[in-house]
Structure 1
Amino acid sequence: MRELDIGEVARRSGLAASALRHYEQMGLIAPIGRHGLRRVYAAEVLERLALVALGRAAGFSLQAIGAMLGGDGGTGIDRPTLVAKADELDRRITQLAAMRDGLRHAAACQAPSHLQCPRFRALLRKAQPLLKR
């Protein structure tokens, strides 16, 4: 088993050592021992950190990620929660695409005022759900 000290894990994951210690306190990762005062992790910790990063990017809290990863190194994937999150991301993608289209149209539109442009107003209506955030 290849071992990585906390500095190497920090370098390879792009996370600060303090973040790794925080993740450890939350039960997201666990060291396999110490070399002197430095924590040592199994190389597989990088995969676990990648799962944490994926969960964070998808909008899950660290607590929710911890529940899904489980403390035993396994996973307790809640499939309905994943489907709900994927649906939420689909809605967000649609909203972001409408914003992108609106910005592009506003930059190129020749109307005297963007609010007089029917296409821009339609795109604006698509983006309105963002106001509910």
Structure 2
Amino acid sequence: MSASESTSATPTLSIGELSERTGVPTSALRYYDELGLVRPVARAAGRRRYAASAVNDVGVVLFFREIGFSLAEIGRFLGGERRDRRALIDHKLAELAEQRRRVDVARTALDHGRRCPADDPLTCSRFLAIVEGRQRGLPLDESHARAH
């Protein structure tokens, strides 16, 4: 049995059916195909046909998007070897830790702005000191720490 015969014997999904099952627009599925993230197993009359497992493949892409991976990172992850995947995970964890640090600093600054005794945060001496520190090239957390 040839590969095309085995593909035709196995039920496949049209791009519309895959879209319905995953909630992902057909335009995004075409883009995923271009990027090599979710590939059709065949074409029938020029139309993409997907294996039933493509529903899970799309789910993997959606999950990685939800946890902060770019489509390029997902492509590297899916196409990589085990050690490459670990390196991508380590890189993403470091990136998320940095994002968390920045969010924490921003939250502290905004909380101060909400509780600031000045009527307007733009007239607050601490706020202005933080801005001046940033203009001098200090990182936000250091500028904020020096103002307090």
- If the length of structure 1 is used for normalisation, what is the TM-score? 0.66
Q: CA deviation at 1:39?
A: 2.7
Identity %: 33
Aligned to 2:16: 7
Pairing 1:46–2:61 present: no
Pairing 1:95–2:95 present: no
Structure 1's consecutive aligned runs of 4 or more residues displaced over 6 angstroms after TM superposition are none
Kindly indicate whether the alpha-carbon contact (under 8 Å) linking 1:58 and 1:89 is maintained by their aligned counterparts in 2: no
Kindly indicate whether the alpha-carbon contact (under 8 Å) linking 1:33 and 1:40 is maintained by their aligned counterparts in 2: yes
Q: CA deviation at 1:20?
A: 0.9
Pairing 1:126–2:141 present: yes
More helix by share: 2
**How far apart in 1 are the matches of 2:41 and 2:142?**
49
Unaligned runs of 5+ in 2: 1-9, 135-139, 144-148
Q: Which has the larger radius of gyration?
A: 2
Aligned length: 121
Cα root mean square deviation, aligned: 3.2
Counterpart among 29, 40, 58 of residue 31 in structure 1: 40
Q: CA deviation at 1:86?
A: 0.7
More relative contact order in 1 or in 2 (CA 8 Å, sep 6+)? 1
Aligned to 1:111: 118
- If the length of structure 2 is used for normalisation, what is the TM-score? 0.61
Determine helix, strand or coil for the equivalent of 1:88. Answer: helix
Kindly indicate whether the alpha-carbon contact (under 8 Å) linking 2:15 and 2:26 is maintained by their aligned counterparts in 1: yes
